[in-house]
Amino acid sequence: MNTLVILNAPPYGTERCYNGLRLAQALVQADTANSVTVFLMADAVAAAKSGQKTPDGYYNVERMLKRVLSGKGQVLLCGSCMDARGLSQAEVMPGARRSTMDELAAMTIAADKVLVF
C-alpha cells in the first residue's frame, strides 16, 4: 500500500505532528511492502530541522522522522514553506529533502491513502 501522510501543524505546541508521525512509524513497521511518504507543509517543515534538543521524557519529532526514514519511508518538505520560514536545505536533517507542489500532486494521485494532520 502506498500511503501519503501530510503534516501541516507545527512540530511542538500541538500533538498533530506527533500523532501523524506515530501513525507513519506504525505503518512503516507494519509491513515492509508499505510505502510511506511524510510530506511536511506550512509550520510542519520545522519538524525536519536538524539538531533538535527536547527535555528528557518529551517526544522529539526529529527522532520520529529518523525512524520513518530508517524504515524505508521518505520525508519531503514543501520548498515554498521552507522559503517562507527561512529554512535552508543545509539546516534539514539528513535523509529529508526539499520538494514541490507538483511532486505532492503526483504523490497524491499515486497514493492509495492520503492522511492529513
Q: Residue ranges of the domains in the chain?
A: 2-116
In order, the DSSP letters of the chain are -EEEEEE-S-SSSSSHHHHHHHHHHHHHHH-TT-EEEEEE-GGGGGGGBTT----TTS--HHHHHHHHHHTT-EEEEEHHHHHHTT--GGGBPTTEEEE-HHHHHHHHHH-SEEEE-
Q: What is the pLDDT of residue 33?
A: 85
Q: What is the pLDDT of residue 103?
A: 98
- In this model, does residue 72 exceed pLDDT 90? no
CATH, domain range 2-116 = 3.40.1260.10
* Percent of all residues in the chain with a pLDDT value above 90, rounded to a whole number: 95
Neighbouring CB atoms inside 10 A of 48's CB total 28
> Can you tell me the mean pLDDT for 78-102?
98
Q: What is the pLDDT of residue 34?
A: 83
